[in-house]
């Protein structure tokens, strides 16, 4: 967390740059998703190496180089969003009724509150799998799509990766069809805690643990 006025200003700049990057990615991807991915990869690496709010420890930034699998067009999807049913809890006469939330564990201990807002059916070559799409109940709000897969603990961070974190600008946008969402695993990224344990990151829930190796996106080995 920022502790000085300068920290807060540089954090605001980091978030602004990430939001701008994803806006550029969405625009480029309309013509060529692979070109958009290459721009995302190069810009993200530059930010991690040069920006004062990089999650990479300062002593390691000069030598930092990001590692990714090659772009795989078969891992870009535009699934239909299936809203999770509203299940009011507490007083049924409340206006509006309270909605159930869940606490996802944090890498540094404790938890953070989220709400399941939808499920996405992803038609992998090995068969369709479902992922939960969450809304961050605290902080700045926003859609959150974490996942774990069979690469965790070897080629990628052991606690999983993220696809979307719109509270921090990581947003691939809607799909071409109404009610759909772009889910491109080539844009999977490690949470900040993968680079430095001083960061605390929410972890993927059990329903988002895939029994597949997603060999796309950012890797650490």
Q: pLDDT tens digits, residue range 125-135?
A: 999 999 999 99
DSSP category for residue 193 = G
pTM exceeds 0.75 for this model? yes
Q: Which residues pair with 136 in a beta bridge?
A: 114
Confidence at residue 115, expressed as pLDDT on a 0 to 100 scale: 87
Q: Any idea which residue has 């159930």 for tokens?
A: 100
Confidence at residue 88, expressed as pLDDT on a 0 to 100 scale: 46
Confidence at residue 3, expressed as pLDDT on a 0 to 100 scale: 66
CA angle at residue 133 from 27 to 140, to 5 degrees?
75
Confidence at residue 200, expressed as pLDDT on a 0 to 100 scale: 80
Confidence at residue 199, expressed as pLDDT on a 0 to 100 scale: 82
Residues of the chain with pLDDT under 50: 88-98
The CA distances from residue 50 to 54, 132, 166, 200, in Å, are 7, 34, 23, 22
Domain positions in the chain: 5-219
Confidence at residue 44, expressed as pLDDT on a 0 to 100 scale: 97
Confidence at residue 197, expressed as pLDDT on a 0 to 100 scale: 86
Least Cα distance to 185 among 158, 211, 147, 140 occurs for 147
């Amino acid at each position: 967390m920022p502790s000085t006025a300068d920290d807060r200003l540089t954090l605001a700049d980091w978030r602004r740059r990430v939001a701008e990057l994803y806006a550029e990615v969405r625009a480029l991807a309309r013509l060529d998703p692979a070109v958009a991915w290459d721009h995302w990869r190069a810009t993200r690496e530059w930010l991690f190496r040069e920006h004062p709010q990089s999650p990479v420890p300062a002593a390691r930034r000069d030598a930092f180089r990001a590692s990714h699998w090659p772009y795989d067009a078969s891992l870009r999807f535009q699934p239909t969003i299936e809203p999770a049913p509203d299940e009011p809890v507490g007083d049924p006469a409340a206006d509006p009724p309270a909605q159930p939330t869940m606490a996802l564990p944090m890498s540094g201990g404790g938890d953070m509150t989220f709400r399941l807002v939808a499920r996405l059916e992803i038609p992998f070559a090995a068969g369709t799998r479902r992922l939960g799409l969450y809304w961050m109940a605290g902080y700045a709000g926003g859609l959150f799509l974490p996942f774990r897969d069979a690469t965790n603990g070897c080629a990628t961070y052991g606690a999983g990766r993220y696809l979307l974190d719109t509270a921090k600008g990581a947003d691939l946008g809607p799909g071409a069809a109404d009610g759909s969402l772009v889910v491109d695993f080539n844009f999977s990224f490690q949470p900040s805690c993968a680079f430095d344990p001083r960061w605390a990151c929410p972890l993927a829930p059990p329903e988002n643990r895939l029994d597949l190796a997603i060999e796309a996106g950012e890797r650490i080995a």
